[in-house]
Amino acid sequence: MSTSSETPAAVRGTRLSLVNASLGRPGAPALDSVDLDVAPGEILTVVGPSGCGKSTLLRTLAGLLPALAGTVAQDGSPLAGPAADRALVFQEDSLLPWRTLRANVELPLAIAGTARSERRRQAESWLARVGLAGRERQLPHRVSGGQRQRVQLARALAGAPRAVLMDEPFGALDAQTRAGMQDLLVEVLHGSGATVVFVTHDVDEALFLGDRVALLGAARPDGPDGAAGSGRLLAVREVPRPRERSASDDPARLALRREVLTSLGS
């Protein structure tokens, strides 16, 4: 990690690493022996069938769930609980319903101790960036599901985290809204330099957004310690020409898409 340049990516990102890690709740392991390294500023997408431990992986990286075994570290030091440095964007609506959109976005800043006027200014600028200028004083239930997800994104980024963990954030949105959100995400993340781990069940979304894509799958039932229901990391692949819509018919991208679909189907 160089500290010399002005590029925020080099300064802002953080390295997340899992070494031989077992994840899950005690007595109910969800993922076994995961080795994964997410470079600073990288966007890693994670795909896999339902129940293979995608959310567990994210919750562990967020610090909400301690690893059962092995090491989970940020920039080399093991995680000790949740921190503002690693923001989590949930699939379900996690906005506080009694706070206006602005007050929701202000929350991480308030926790960090930012002065009132400054956090108001920043929150308003974030809301404007996600296209919600003029709606600052509305309550979450007054806006649509897609708009709430945008506020969640704004709230996650307002705290200037070095890692953003996203758990199927667009899973509940219709296709058109989802494409708009992906573009917005690329636009907003560009220059923020944050490391991103993005969980999705949509292969095309994973291949569009990710620099690399991680494939999770069920553990082989005859495996050494493959308890029923526990998953494992199958592979991590580089994505050719990430974040280019026109690259969707690139032969290398298509080949990877086939590989991912096959692994999901098995």
Partner 1 sequence: MTRHLVRAASLAAALTAWQLLTSLDVDLWLRFSQFPTVADVARAFGDRLGGDDYWTDLTDSLTRILTGFVLAAVLGVATGLTVARSRLAEDLLGPLLEVVRPIPAIALVPVAILLFPSNEQGIVFITCTAAYFPVLVSTRHAVRALTPVWEEAVRTMGGGRWRVLGSVVLPGALPGIFGGLSVGIGVSWICVISAEMISGQYGVGYRTWQDYTVVDYPGVFVGMVTIGVLGWLTSTAVERAGRWLTRWLPRTEYVATAHLRVPGARGRVLGPRARKAAAAAVPAGTTTPAHPEGVRDEHLV
Instruction: Give the residue, chosen from 64, 73, 227, 247, that forms a contact with partner 1 under the rule CB under 8 A.
Output: 64
CA separation for the pair 49, 217 (Å, rounded): 7
CA triple 232-236-239, angle to 5 deg: 145
DSSP annotation of 131 reads T
The answer to the question of residue 13 lying near partner 1 (CB under 8 A) is: no
Contacts with 25 (C-beta within 8 Å, 6 or more apart), sequence order: 65
Other Cβ atoms within 10 Å of 80 Cβ, number: 9
Tell which positions 150-189 bind partner 1, by CB under 8 A: 150, 155, 159, 176-177, 180-181
d(CA 74, CA 79) in angstroms, rounded, equals 6
Contact 256, 240 (CB under 8 A): yes
Smallest separation (angstroms) from partner 1 to the CB of 252:
31
* 97 binds partner 1, rule: CB under 8 A: yes
The piece of 40-48, 72-80, 133-141, 231-239 that touches partner 1 (CB under 8 A) is: 133-141
Q: What are phi and psi of 261, to 5 degrees?
A: -60, -40
**Residue list 75-94, contact with partner 1 (CB under 8 A):** 81-88, 90, 92-94
Among 48, 108, 217, 231, binds partner 1 (CB under 8 A): 108
Q: What is the DSSP letter of 135?
A: -
Residue closer to partner 1, measured from CB, 90 or 215: 90
Given candidates 139, 227, 247, 254, which one binds partner 1 under the rule CB under 8 A?
Answer: 139
Contact residues for partner 1 (CB under 8 A)?
Answer: 62-64, 81-88, 90, 92-94, 96-99, 107-108, 111-112, 131, 135, 138-139, 141-144, 146-147, 150, 155, 159, 176-177, 180-181
